[in-house]
Each structure stands twice: as C-alpha cells, then as structure tokens.
Amino acid sequence: MKALVYQGPGTKSWMEVPNPVIKQPTDVVVKMMATTICGTDLHILAGDLPEVEAGRILGHEGVGVITEVGSAVTQLKVGDRVILSCVSSCGRCANCRTGLYSHCLDPEGTPGIGWIFGYMIDGTQAEYVRVPFAENSVYVMPKGMSDREGMLLSDILPTGFEIGVQYGRVQPGDVVAVIGAGPVGLSAVVTSRLYGPSRVISIDLDEGRLKRAMSFGATDTVNSGDADWMQQVLALTDGAGVDVAIEAVGQAQTFTMATQIVRPGGSVANIGVHGNPVELALNELWIKNIDVSMGLVNTNTLGMLLKLVAEHQLLVDGFVTHEFAFDQMIEAYDTFAHASLHDALKVLIS
C-alpha cells in the first residue's frame, strides 16, 4: 500500500509501505476511504514533537471500511463503514472508566496517552490502517452520512466541543469569544450554539475566515489586526468582558489575548497546541477569579455529536473546502500548510 511517511523534520514522502496486519485480538484493519490533515501533523513536520520517529505514517482522522477483525472483536464486522476516533482507548483502565480516554493507561507506545495514531503508531494517511481497541475506538456510520461529515467527527468537532465549549463551561446567555477561525476554532463556534449563548464573537486576522465564521454561527467578528480589536470586543459586552474566551491558535500572543478579554469570574479555555512556553500573568489575573483550562480531546462526546450531524442539527457542510485523491497527498499538504493563500479549511483526501 501507499502512505504518507514522516522522515524527519521538514521531510515527508508518499511511498510504498507494507500493509498493516492484526497484532492484537482487539484490532481491526480498515481500508481508508477518506482522511484529512490536522494542524498537529504540521507541528510534527516542524519538529515540535521530537518523540515522533522517522518512518511513522502520519494522520489521526478519517473514515473507512473494515476489511479484517481480530478474534476478540464481536461488535464489528467486515464491511462495516466506520469513523476512526483520533483517540484510541481500551475502555477498561481506570482513566477510561471515567471517560478520560485521552489518558488511557493501556495504549501502545506511551502509557497514559490515548492519542497514538500518527504519533506512537502508524496513522490514517494511508490506504489501510490497523486500529487497536477497535470496539471502543471506531463508530459505525449511519446510512446516508457522507465521508466528509464522518471525517469531521474524528477530531475537530469533539475537540472544539469538549476542550473549548465544555471545558469553558459555556452557559445559556453567555458571551463567547473564539480566537482563531481555523477548523478547530470554527468547531468551537458551531458547537457552542448547542448551549444557547447570546453572542459568539469570532476573532481572527483573516477576513475570509471571519466571513466564513458567520456561516458557522458567529454573531459578530473582530479582526485582531485592528489596533482597537480589544475595545471592539469589550464594546460587544458593555465593557464587562466575555464570559468564555476560547483560544484556538496555539500561540503565546493569542493565549494572552484570551486572558485580556475575559470578565471577572469567566473562563479561558485553551484548545491550541503550543510548541513553546506561554507566560501567564498571575500577578494580574489572580484577582479576576477566572478559570483556565486546557487538554487533549477524549472523544467521549463523539457518539452524541454523531447523532446531531446525522440529523443535520450541526452546520458542518462548509468545513471541507478542498478535495484531493490519495495520490495527491503531497499537494493536499501544500494546500493545507498555506491555508490562507488557498482559502482552505479542511481538505478531504479520498
């Protein structure tokens, strides 16, 4: 088969590799029908995650059809069309039993980290993939759901919802600001609407993405390149600050922005993956009684979000902006890596 192989910082190849095989009784093998690229893949290629070994197949999102099942798999069968969760979980360890799948104690690679696809084991940017703990790590797709809809449920929708909206404790009537109008930021925008906020403010430098944010449910937009961007946000809150500030970029500047616009008693939810330390101005923030949260997605809401997408209760059609074939994987990476140039959000590779 062919796969996208990481060969060290800055280097990748679409190349021939051996087909995956069943290793554990709880495994399945899936023929990938569609996959995509995540910002985390770009972090790996930039060398931000040095623990990823050269030779690793990248990717942790996608949908496919089961072609082989392990001897212990009884709830799945060959031919099932499934969504692959970006987090693999045994379902029986102490952390999994509390829903903390992101810190499964029994994954392959690094115990205590449930994200292993494209990180500790070979991932989904391939023609076939081996899925460990399959019965707790894939979801059968309902008839009528498209590959592009299912693919979004692997990672970005649960991440925006769990780490942004739920960790930020969005409540009915809240004013929510989401800094960053990329795929995960827009996922936070669209899923925040499930809790009935009074305003959802999308903040970004890119006017094209800000325009798109309105179609995903933002009520207001602010260009953070404006000198008075913070005054614009505060004006939308009668000067009080937002109830929930969600950071979805992963830069020190944008994290600081989130702490600057949150009201006393509010919440800052950090979704962005940070490659460098961030200064936290505790000398200024302690007196504001704010909560700061962050985390790795558990995907324990994937089943619920799946029902909402299947019934067209979440506006997800606009996430996929570009489509490629598997043999155009390198071109897809170039488009995604230069998203502003190509006006790209998620790329569908099928």
Per-residue pLDDT tens digits for 256-309: 999 999 999 999 999 998 888 999 999 999 999 999 999 999 999 999 999 999
Per-residue pLDDT tens digits for 113-158: 999 999 999 999 999 999 999 999 999 999 999 999 999 999 999 9
Contacts of 121 (CB under 8 A, 6+ apart): 108, 109, 130, 132
Q: What is the DSSP letter of 9?
A: T
Domains of the chain by residue range = 2-155+298-349, 158-294
Mean pLDDT value across the chain: 96
Q: Using the predicted structure, report yes or no on whether residue 106 has a pLDDT greater than 90.
A: no
The model's pTM is: 0.95
Q: Using the predicted structure, report yes or no on whether residue 236 has a pLDDT greater than 80.
A: yes
| Assigned fold of 2-155+298-349 | Quinone Oxidoreductase; Chain A, domain 1 (3.90.180)
The pLDDT of 169-185, averaged and rounded, is: 97
| 3-state helix vs strand vs coil in the chain, percent to 5 | 30, 25, 45
Buried b (16+ CB within 10 A) or exposed e, 311-324: eeebebeebbbbeb
Contacts of 199 (CB under 8 A, 6+ apart): 175, 176, 219, 220, 236, 237
Q: Using the predicted structure, report yes or no on whether residue 111 has a pLDDT greater than 80.
A: no
Following CA atoms 123, 132, 28, 155 in sequence, which dihedral angle do they give, to the nearest 10 degrees?
A: -50
CB 133 within 8 A of CB 127: no
Q: Give residue 243's pLDDT.
A: 98
The pLDDT of 232-236, averaged and rounded, is: 98
Q: Using the predicted structure, report yes or no on whether residue 107 has a pLDDT greater than 80.
A: no
**Amino acid at the residue 310:** A
Ranked by mean pLDDT, the top range of 64-73, 271-280, 311-320 is 64-73
Q: Give residue 110's pLDDT.
A: 66
Instruction: Say yes or no: do domains 2-155+298-349 and 158-294 share a fold.
Output: no
Contacts of 43 (CB under 8 A, 6+ apart): 49, 273, 275
| Assigned fold of 158-294 | Rossmann fold (3.40.50)
CB 293 within 8 A of CB 268: yes
Q: Give residue 112's pLDDT.
A: 82
